[in-house]
Chain A
Amino acid sequence: MRTFKLHTGKVLFALAVLALLIYTIFPFYIAIATSFGAGSGDGSLYLPETFDFGNYVSVFKEQPFFHNILNSALVSFATVAISLLIAVTASYALARVHFRGRTTLLLTVLGVSMFPQVAVLSGMFELIRMLGLYNNLGSLVLSYTVFSLPFSVWILTTFMRGIPKDLEEAAIVDGATPWQIITRIFMPVLWPAMVTTGLLAFIGAWNEFMFAITFILSNDNRTVPVAISMISGGSQYEMPWGPIMAASVIVTVPLIALVLIFQRKIVEGLTAGAVKG
């Protein structure tokens, strides 16, 4: 009786895990299947009959999609580089130095990360026109950096607090300046946290949509999310789902690869940002 109960428990648990896996993975599987030709014409919705790369070819042929990917990569890397550089010095100050107004400043930074993008849209639009960055990738780097900076600072501050005080003081005794402490001691020690933070910033920038669709006008300058949203067929009712799914797979696979590789680090970063806060 008891073993029976135990077995049912195990089976139910396995079923729950299976359901969970299907729930999370199945939609992306469908996207892949569609990109290879499933669901077009009379074929099965679930399985492509042949591996047809036609949709992939058409994405690059009919759109400046290669350009779009390049744009996205450029914007994302620039965002990551700039926000990490600014965040690492700022979080050193916030985590390791006692000064008046530190808590207020941290709260303000946290507040900015909660801004709805649309709340700064008109002001930002003005600013970007003023700087002559309209329809320029610079506008995206600028706006993404501002939105990735707060959580980068937040996460790095949490990690920097975890560095033992002795380590910093040993460096001070050795004659290191604050800048040297950051670059020679803290950054090497914190590189996993830097990777995590950078990754989160990268994903944020790679996926952003509202600023990208607002500040960029021409096809050639668009980033991939906008490009995908703009793939359309002959009429409103004839969406070219195959190419859309192909494009989606192309932009998502690198992200998924990153996430799978750095799974543990990402979770650490997310929890450092939220739970410990």
Chain B
Amino acid sequence: MDITSTTTQGATSAATKRSLRSARKGGRAQLSGLSRQRIRTAWLFLLPMIAGLGFVAGWPLLRTIYLGFTDATLSSIDSYAFVGFENYLVYDNGEWYGLLADGLWWQAVWNTLYLTVLSVSIETVLGVLIALILHAKFPGRGLVRAAILIPWAIPTVVSAKMWGWMLHDQFGIINDLFLKLHLISEPIAWTVNPDTVLGTIIAVDVWKTTPFMALLTLAALQMLPKDCYEAARVDGIHPVKVFFKVTLPLIKPALVVAVVFRMLDALRIFDLVYILTSNSEDTIVMSVYARQALIDFQQIGYGSAASTLLFLLVFGLTLAYIFATRLKLDGSGDH
């Protein structure tokens, strides 16, 4: 930069003139070139993500919704006709047809919801219990914490196969153990018997996903201030009461987030059901139903309609959650 030899006064008068000019031009406060440049760079950086998500997620989603209104099939995916809401519901020859008139679809919806609610409730309770255990100090805590990550890390296909084997009616160890403990009097075909199969799937799902819940809860527990516990102990309040009056309200926000995440995840359950009880109508869930229609029965239109409904369910729940909690994404709130 130049070494100033001009007198300060000279610079001032020139500067004043320029400032008057810019004041007339600009008037109100505006972003300078610096901020604008920074924002431009930001959008450039976001471009690959937006393009990727738009092209490989957004567009397929729109296509799925659109195909749900057509009679497309897998063999003729390029030529199809628009059929309006026929995939959803249509009255023809004195009979109702379509997704909403299909008993199996409603079975799938019911199973999905049943599974989601039960699985998430059980794993929440269990997860909190495990988190409380891991929150206590004991030798080998690190190891135990690592061990509970194992079910989470095992591929769903593998855990489905593993449990399929353990639940085997003849050679499975579950039957063996239960018989030895006299919990059951004869072997049960857990994954076939309509009375047990849904419960079995829930049990396996709980086994696999409780670690997630436990770890998130544990993280929340570890962020709690210690002084209110010490205060409670000084006051001699019973630990159980402390848990319900102090701990639970404090970890509730984190717990709600974890529950919502898990619910959204459970609603789209596929692998476990598909492998453990492949084509059983007793356990059919929405994802399995939709994929069956799409791929196995090759009815792209109909399957897309089913997919769309599942999407709407998940989407609705997400929106409800976002609005209910007014999810704080950043402290600054830029609008």
List the interface of chain A (C-beta within 8 A of B).
13, 16-17, 20-21, 23-25, 27-28, 30-31, 34, 39, 45-46, 85-87, 89-90, 92-94, 97-100, 102-103, 105-109, 111-112, 114-127, 129, 142-143, 145-147, 149-150, 153, 161, 178, 203, 206-207, 209-210, 214, 224-226, 228-229, 239, 241, 244-245, 248, 251-252, 255-256, 258-260, 263, 266-267, 270-271, 274-275, 277
A127 to B147, CA, bound (A): 41
Smallest CB–CB gap between B307 and chain A, Å?
5
Whether A127 pairs with B271 at a CB distance below 8 angstroms is no
Whether B118 sits at the interface, judged by CB under 8 Å, is no
Task: List residues of B (134-173) whose CB comes within 8 Å of A's CBs.
Answer: 136, 138, 142, 144-159, 161-166, 168, 171, 173
State the CA gap A21–B220 with chains docked (Å): 22
How far does the alpha carbon of A39 sit from the alpha carbon of B171 in the complex, in Å? 7
Interface residues of A, dominant DSSP: helix
B155 x A20 contact (CB < 8 A): no
Do residues B219 and A275 form an inter-chain contact, with CB atoms below 8 A?
A: yes
* Alpha-carbon distance A267/B133, docked complex (angstroms): 17
* B162 contacts across to A, CB distance below 8 A: 27-28, 30-31, 245, 248
Question: Which residue in chain B gives the minimum CB-CB distance to A46?
Answer: B173
Nearest 6 interchain pairs by C-beta: A123-B60, A123-B63, A116-B268, A93-B42, A119-B311, A207-B155
The smallest beta-carbon distance between A69 and chain B, in angstroms, is: 13
Residue in contact with A107 in the complex, picked from B148, B149, B290, B322, CB distance below 8 Å: B322
Interface stretch of the complex, out of B9-17, B48-56, B97-105, B241-249 = B48-56
A146 touches B53 (CB 8 A): yes
Q: List the A residue with the shortest CB-CB distance to B322.
A: A107
The prevalent SS among residues of B at the interface is helix
List chain B residues, Cβ under 8 A from A225.
Answer: 155-158, 271
Question: Once the chains bind, are A149 and B49 in contact (CB under 8 Å)?
Answer: yes
Of B21-29, B194-202, B227-235, B325-333, the one with at least 4 CB within 8 A of chain A: B325-333
- Judge whether A24 and B136 touch: CB under 8 Å: no
Q: Which one of A27, A30, A102 has the greatest number of beta carbons of chain B within 10 Å?
A: A27
What are 30 of the A-B contact pairs (CB < 8 Å)?
A21-B147, A28-B151, A45-B171, A93-B45, A97-B41, A97-B42, A99-B43, A102-B330, A103-B335, A105-B50, A108-B53, A111-B315, A114-B314, A116-B307, A118-B310, A119-B61, A121-B307, A124-B56, A125-B77, A126-B77, A127-B55, A127-B59, A146-B52, A146-B56, A146-B57, A178-B38, A214-B291, A214-B295, A248-B162, A255-B153
Q: Are A115 and B57 in contact (CB under 8 A)?
A: yes
A35–B227 alpha-carbon span in the complex (Å)? 51
Chain A proximity mask over B259-286: 1 for CB below 8 Å, otherwise 0: 0010010011011001100000000001
**Given known contacts A111-B315, A122-B63, A210-B271, A274 and B330 CB-to-CB distance under 8 angstroms:** no
In contact, B257 and A277 (Cβ under 8 angstroms): yes
State whether B308 touches A105 (Cβ < 8 A).
Answer: no
